[in-house]
Amino acid sequence: MTDVSRRAFLATTAVSLGAGLAGPGVPSAVAADNDFTDLVDAHVHVWTPDTAAWPIAAEFTKADMQPASFTAEELLATCRPHGVSRVVLIQMSFYGFDNSYMLDCIHRHPAAFAGVGIVDHDKPGVAAEMRALNERGVRGFRLYANRKNAQAWADSAGMQAMWECGADENLAMCLLADPDALPAIAAQVARSPKTPVVIDHFARLGMKGGLESPEAKADMERLLKLADYAEVNVKLSAFYALGAKKPPYDDLAPMMRRLRDAYGAKRLMWATDCPYQLDQGPAGEAHSYEASLALVRDRLDFLSREERLDILRNTARRVFFDGLA
């Protein structure tokens, strides 16, 4: 049994033992509600140790692949016991612009997976490549949105072609954003208001320095302001890496409430960022798949049942699975 499979087994056992247990102030019936099935995890990375069949990019080595394996099958063994039947696969950086392994996973499990690919916007014909990948189950494209990159978008013909194609084909620009890139992101969204946008991991607010600093509060206001653009969505994800970085992650609740108030639940989507959500924290914190899911499903007492279902299922279905079987 691989390390990931072992963790998946333990997490599943914990779910069985803990069925019906909910967070403070939330009826246990919420966790046991039969409607909390067919959920969507909107952000997971997969890779295989078989680098002969699926080579990694030159700048990486097998030692960079930690854990050594998190295949589509290991992912499904992890998520299905929790009522998650669909997953958005995010192209892993190990593979660079070669989306082949992700595409193979989608081909083998078309009912379970949609993809977010990575393409070279400096390469001629980037829009045509996006359309070709769309035909193979890719519904969005990842952009590394640090401040320097995002500020350069306005002067990049290839990047503007990507955003135009996104608007034309309903393909999301999925931004791994740093907080200090939010002004440049806002400028790009203003230039391309019809392009679907998904901001990963709360724009990584609280990854460094917590959530209460003046800088973090100013960044939060910028993220909230992006709600003015109807095509912008936010992932509530990577709880293991944000704020106190400790389950049950209740310190993230005020930020999540403000995002709900600004965007509405129909523009928020939950995701784990597995396999990293399965890692043990540096002080032995018991991060797990169930801990991530439970925060939204059980613990946020300001959410209605319908809002929980939007965040856990319906928003990601609309953005990434519209038109798929």
Q: Which of 56, 55, 89 is nearest to 72 (CA)?
A: 89
pLDDT at position 35, please? 79
Q: What is the pLDDT of residues 217-257, one digit of tens each?
A: 999 999 999 999 999 999 999 999 999 999 999 999 999 99
pLDDT of 1 over the 60 cut: no
10 Å Cβ neighbour count for 288? Answer: 24
pLDDT at position 33, please? 54
Q: Full-prediction pTM beyond 0.85? A: yes
Mean pLDDT confidence for 175-186 = 97
Mean pLDDT confidence for 269-281 = 93
Average pLDDT, the chain: 90
Please give the helix or strand (H or E) that residue 128 lies within, else none: helix 126-134
DSSP string, 154-194: GG-HHHHHHHHHHHHHT-EEEEEE-GGGHHHHHHHHHH-TT
- In the chain, pLDDT over 90 holds for what percent of residues? 82
Q: Would you place residue 187 in the very low, low, confident or very high pLDDT band (cuts 50, 70, 90)?
A: very high
pLDDT at position 206, please? 85
| CATH numbers and ranges of domains, the chain | 3-320 (3.20.20.140)
Q: Would you place residue 213 in the very low, low, confident or very high pLDDT band (cuts 50, 70, 90)?
A: confident
pLDDT of 17 over the 50 cut: no
Tokens, residue 280: 């043990």
- In the chain, pLDDT over 70 holds for what percent of residues? 88
CA distance 185 to 68: 34
Q: What is the pLDDT of residues 27-82, one digit of tens each?
A: 333 444 567 999 999 999 999 999 999 999 999 999 999 999 999 999 999 999 99
Please give the helix or strand (H or E) that residue 8 lies within, else none: helix 3-18
pLDDT of 23 over the 60 cut: no
270, 41 contact by CB (below 8 A): yes
pLDDT at position 211, please? 83
pLDDT at position 208, please? 80
pLDDT at position 322, please? 86
* Among 198-202, 214-218, 301-305, the least confident range: 214-218
Q: Which of 290, 240, 274 is nearest to 45 (CA)?
A: 274
Q: Which of 13, 22, 12, 19 is nearest to 296 (CA)?
A: 22
Residue predicted with more confidence, 102 or 28: 102
pLDDT at position 19, please? 35
Q: What is the pLDDT of residues 284-300, one digit of tens each?
A: 778 999 999 999 999 99
pLDDT at position 324, please? 54
